A and B are shown apart, each in its own frame.
Chain A
């Protein structure tokens, strides 16, 4: 597995994927930063809380998360389609599940790296602007993001690998991103059935609003369970996608 995973990164050499990801991340972070600066200015010290930061991030990442996954999944697959290397890899005794798993792991690592860099930026920004960091909800949020990524990664990867035309997976990514931004308007139970909503579902704190103004933050009850459900659904979707790919990839 580690060997095939390393190969996936080698195949990305000299592609513009890293630049694309960097641009997307910079764009998302700029957006979050501007939004947070305005919120801090509007609501004063009460808003200088990691709860506000997490809330802001979840709103944006509902849009950027699916896009990131769709773009990377599409690139990882288009690379093989353009090279006509998929049959060759199979003839070289790389199994279909092995290829799927390697690409899945690559995507997971890329999204993890994205989260890490973005998180570091926000922690730094928070420290500079006097935000009190609450590490437990931040930790849950990060774990939640990883869990939230599983299902979209599996779905996008499957789409990108079985369809040569990347319009499909990119289109689904855009729709998923748009759907993701509506997470706050949809009941929790419904969101659990929409993988692109998972980025919002895993938010561990909610704002307490009194009379239209922010008065504080409260931890979301049972968030650990929600994250566990999201992770379990993600794992199940991964296994199903893997099974489908194994059948479809054979003429």
Chain B
């Protein structure tokens, strides 16, 4: 057994590949072992997010939540569409509301806007109970619910003017939101002549009128092309910083939510099955080491007091370890003369976690954070 050159075949897979990966999240890291093995969600498009979430959580959570729902339930006839839902959305957050089609996302959002009356439970927005304080809450909220709504025979500008009048805003507001959503050049075109994506932008523009403190956006990227999705996503993510908005955004696509949200709520068959940071959803994974002689490597490790969970042909598996300890494991094996081919952290992707949580058939809630 030839000793391994330290700088060569050490591979770790810390980066997180969401929708594409399917099974194991993996990425390649060449070189030193100090690569971060914790999954980071502050990828491109999320500047400044991620690390400071924990501190912000501590600080902001002491504030009263912007949305607070307790035992929220909606029945249509005998069908229970939203079941005992507890939801808390904190100020300045982008809360991703994730669930398959028909899970109850739109119905929940409608109840937050007093468009549907809960069959049971309580909702308060800005600490004000609904429906009693409807007229105090709604002026502070912008919303986009289900398919975009617009008067097709009116121009984009005229549509926005109707919202402007209802919200008692200055005329300049129309210009501002048109620019914000990139419709300024199409303002004088009838909305019925807009493309799907432009209609969606118009809907978003209506929601953004008056820079509301809370935005409730139901699948806002529906019908947009990939470039449009990216643009709208960036816009949504920028809203808290831009005007201190809190955003509740729904989607049936995990990849959407994880790129926008710093808090996730997963709804399935009307049950909220998870609520909290997307990070705590993640599977910590296992450490897999490909070696020439797995039996010998396992013996070496066990002798030194490491826990080996599986030994296969050419591969030993250990529980997930922090970076410095991975380095120690590698050093131990190398010094014992083992030839390492690969070191990787394998974890279940968020996609898998999500798919396990949201099944075709209803289940009892698993997690409540």
Contact = CB atoms under 8 A, between A and B. Distances in A.
Contacts of B135: 93, 95
B338 interface: no
A123 B62 CA distance: 74
B149 A94 contact: no
Given A3-B165, A91-B143, 10 more contacts: A3-B166, A7-B162, A7-B166, A14-B153, A87-B110, A87-B113, A87-B115, A91-B138, A95-B135, A250-B114
A186 interface: no
Interface string B144-183: 0111111111100010011101110000000000000000
A15 B116 contact: no
Interface string B43-85: 0000000000000000000000000000000000000000000
Contact of B150 (A13, A14, A85, A93): A85
Contacts of A94: 166
B139 interface: yes
Nearest to A4: B166
Interface in A237-251: 250-251
A234 B203 CA distance: 38
16 contacts: A7-B162, A11-B162, A13-B153, A82-B152, A83-B149, A83-B150, A84-B148, A85-B149, A85-B151, A87-B113, A89-B166, A91-B114, A92-B166, A93-B134, A93-B135, A250-B114
A84 B167 CA distance: 19
Contacts of B206: 88
Nearest to A10: B162
A251 B165 contact: no
Contacts of B138: 91-93
Closest 10 CB pairs of A and B: A93-B138, A84-B149, A251-B116, A83-B151, A92-B166, A91-B113, A88-B149, A91-B143, A85-B149, A14-B153
B364 to A, nearest CB: 27
A90 interface: yes
Contacts of B114: 90-91, 250
Interface of A: 3-4, 6-7, 10-11, 13-15, 79, 82-85, 87-95, 250-251
Contact of A10 (B110, B139, B147, B161): B161
A31 to B, nearest CB: 31
B117 interface: yes
A93 B212 CA distance: 13
Interface of B: 110, 113-117, 134-135, 138-139, 141, 143, 145-154, 158, 161-163, 165-167, 206
Contacts, number: 72
A81 to B, nearest CB: 10
Given A11-B162, A92-B167, A251-B115, A87 B149 contact: yes
Nearest to A3: B165
Given A93-B139, A94-B166, A87 B145 contact: yes
Contact of B158 (A10, A84, A91, A92): A10
B341 to A, nearest CB: 58
A91 B145 contact: yes
A251 B110 contact: yes
Given A3-B165, A10-B161, A95-B135, A88 B154 contact: no
Contacts of B134: 93
B299 to A, nearest CB: 66
Nearest to B115: A87
Contacts of A250: 114-117
A91 B117 contact: no
B165 A7 contact: yes
A91 B147 contact: no
A79 B165 CA distance: 18
B166 A13 contact: no
Contact of B152 (A3, A83, A93, A251): A83
Contacts of B153: 13-15
A244 to B, nearest CB: 16
A3 B163 CA distance: 12
A13 B190 CA distance: 12
B158 A251 contact: no
Given A83-B149, A87-B149, A91-B138, A11 B154 contact: yes
A167 B306 CA distance: 77
A228 to B, nearest CB: 35
